[in-house]
A = this chain, B = another copy of it.
Amino acid sequence: MTTEPTAAFRALHHGERPLLLPNAWDFASAAALLAAGFAAIGTTSLGVAAAHGLPDGQGAGREESLALARLLGRLPCLFTVDIEAGFSDDPDEVADLAAALRAAGAVGINLEDGSPDGTLADPGRQQALIATVKAAVPDLFVNARVDAYWLGGDDPSPLATTLPRAAEYVAAGADGIFVPGVTRDSDIATLVDAIPAPLNVLFLPGKHSVERLAGLGVARISTGSLLFRTAIRAAVQTAEAVRDGEPTAAAYTYARIQQLVAGAGAC
């Protein structure tokens, strides 16, 4: 295994434009997004979990995430895997998973500090977790997620909660910081200024535009579960359109899907 793919992925966080990272949930969605020209993809933990009948954010999708990474490793493309909070309370087990993902071809992971019970992990524990993972797999872009905005709840100042955590996670070795749920321009600008690592923001339809986030200095914009949630909705809408005698939405052809599976057009 060379370190070249991770270096290429890292460089995408320092281009003239932010890295727009769409998130796949299975092999077909990944291959289609890569064939459409996106430079790299992520996975969506909600999509991977729901595809297998599992809840998101409850630490249930370890094997499914690893199995997907092993499929994606067949494509000569850059991909990073969302592993929620690591699917384990044991940092060594999380490091083992990270190593297995890197061996499968992943160049990065997302690792969140939101816990299944809806609280934020102890920052010292999270710092130790990040350090353990980076020590075991230095050649993996660890995108450390700070969930103060995402969890909402009673936090009167998610910005004040996020800033020290972000600093601690970067000090522990995190390569990037992901703050899903932040929408206010001034907060985003503060995060960009204060955090000594590329900032990743979750794209929220109607609240963000790539242009505005680019102008604020955001390094990476991911779509999270949006594409998956759109896909499932499109499937149901199409079934309803057939039932009701209405026109159906555009679809790939059967032949195009078979081509994508065969690896055509990927990266």
Contact = CB atoms under 8 A, between A and B. Distances in A.
A51 B36 contact: no
**Interface residues on chain A, size class:** 35 or more
Interface in A212-232: 221, 223, 225-232
A250 B225 contact: no
B252 A36 contact: no
Contact of A32 (B32, B38, B223, B236): B236
A250 B230 contact: yes
A235 B227 contact: yes
A54 B263 CA distance: 11
B32 A257 contact: no
Given A33-B239, A258-B56, A251 B233 contact: yes
Interface stretch (A23-31, A100-108, A136-144): A23-31
A20 B240 CA distance: 10
Nearest to A262: B55
A205 B239 CA distance: 11
A226 B210 contact: no
A261 interface: yes
A232 B260 CA distance: 11
A29 B235 contact: yes
**Copies of the polypeptide in the assembly:** 2
B209 A229 contact: no
Interface in A232-254: 232-240, 242-243, 245, 247-254
Interface in A13-27: 20, 22, 24, 26-27
A133 interface: no
Q: What are the 9 closest A-B residue pairs judged by CB atoms, nearest first?
A: A234-B234, A27-B53, A231-B231, A22-B239, A229-B251, A26-B51, A28-B50, A227-B235, A230-B251
Interface of A: 20, 22, 24, 26-29, 31-33, 36, 38, 46-47, 49-56, 71, 74, 203, 205, 209-211, 221, 223, 225-240, 242-243, 245, 247-254, 256-258, 260-262
12 contacts: A22-B235, A26-B50, A28-B50, A29-B232, A38-B239, A56-B261, A205-B242, A211-B245, A225-B257, A226-B251, A230-B235, A233-B252
